[in-house]
Structure 1
Amino acid sequence: MKSYQLKKSGLAIAIVLAASVGTMQSISAAPPTATVGPSAKLGDKESQSLKQKFLGERQVQVEHEALEAIAGTQNALIALQKQDSKKTKALLQEVSGKLDIVLAKYPDLELIPANVEADVNDFELNGKSADVKDVQTLLNQTDTLLAKHKVQDARKILDQLVSEVRITTTSIPLGTFPAAIKDIIALIDKGKMDEAKTALYETLNTLVDITEMIPLPLLRAESMLTEASELEHKEDLSQQASREAIQKLTNDAKSQLLLAETLGYGEKEDYKLLYTAIDDIKDVIHSKKSAAAWDKVKSTFLNLKNKVIHPEK
């Protein structure tokens, strides 16, 4: 007998959990939700704000019929595991109808987003946000452990060195999923329940999870640089006061960038270009060259962020 394992997306894993309890409840389609990683602090306002921001941006891409189609397919599998072929068929027919709606809306689309989850993990040491010195100390410890071939001990340290938002979008492959549902309905009509169950598992395993990883130090540096760029134009600040504030914000931004670099997000050469662009700002504050210098910072930062978030395969 073949065994199948469902993809561990937030939706797909629900079917496994539901099937493992005595009284199985139907899975209802719900709005995209945020999940919190073990090192994220639930009470951390920054973490909550980040999750809301990224989920809000991506929620508009989610098609409600697609979310309902996945939930309906999972409910159909539960019904099939309970030998309720009538309910299974009814659920899959409803799923097929929802997928037909999606296909009519987006006939040329390969993937349709159905669910979004966000996971925030911020590296801490002894209950406090870690800095470059902390990270480097742990990296040195890891090097020592690896030199002694204590790989698992080193891995425990490396697993901590994460400071990022991970946004996972689960999508339906429109080229195969709708047709597979229709084929499963046909199997049920023929009384081939075992084959239908296997096909349902395989179909759910075709859901596509795409994860974006966005380093928190980069986000913080970007926020600081944006604030710094706006200070030059604040009329309630003297030139000297704004210069000092800009210098502090740019220095703080560079500290965050160095933290991101030390954690291994991106290439060192890309950071060097950005450090240089930031350093050039101090020489042109309140001059005609200021706008061009800030534009260079912005474009260099964008190049770095794109390389980190969407690395080349």
Structure 2
Amino acid sequence: MTAPGAPHQNYFHLHLVSDSTGETLINVGRAACAQYVNVLPIEHVYPLVRSPKQLERVLTEIEASPGIVLYTLVDKDIRDQLKRRCTELSVPFMSVLAPVVQLFQSYLGGEPQPRVGGQHALDATYFKRIDALNYTVAHDDGQLSDDLEEADVILLGVSRTSKTPTSIYLANRGIKTANIPLVPNVPVPQAIERLRKPLVVGLIASAERIVEIRQNRLLGLNAPTTNSSYVDREAVSEELANSRRLFARHGWPLIDVTRRSIEETAAAIIGHLSERRRQKIVET
């Protein structure tokens, strides 16, 4: 059943108003929208809204394209102005952080001290993430294999198993990640077998998926897609079988990325990493 006042078309306007970067709102909004497969949001993102003048431009756009309004605003006057105008326009609005902050307050006691963009502070966590990104970019696709012991995670897999984007995602979480391609007839660096600190993870996918991605890549490069073992179904299947045997021989965890998003693959890796750290704590 369509909610009262809801649009009948298969899209709606989603206004995201923030006094910081807007990343929190974007993530929450998209996570909620993903629950409605037949409805698409038209996102209007307004970052760094910190003055009444800046808010006026936002309110003008909300009036021109009514829809859902989500916001994260620390300044009470600006927040009240937005709420008042949304009420006048009869558009739904919500602070995405207020319920969570209220829950924290009821449990922790005391009053919160709101800070604009507090999650983006230049603290140790921030610099750890930057350090991880620098390391990961420098160790992409088998580069600089001399200092792999410094990595938190090492990803192995045949070509087109999403090693690089997964590495970058993990680095954004502060996890130093190196990735090494498995190439036919090229042995894996023996140094990997002697590593103690990094978690080595194998990535695989179905042969059909690998062939499809490789063919698209060759088309993008205007390269021939025939008479090449790179896109031959049997050759790819053999590559994957060899990689599976390698992972099993060393007891390295294996993740099938065929139907996983980068975020889901990274979450599985982080789960393996957390479990490994818990085991080390228990052993000590």
Q: Same fold (TM over 0.5)?
A: no
Structure with more helix by fraction: 1
Higher relative CO (Cα under 8 Å, sequence separation at least 6) belongs to 1
TM-score of the superposition, structure 2-length normalised?
0.27
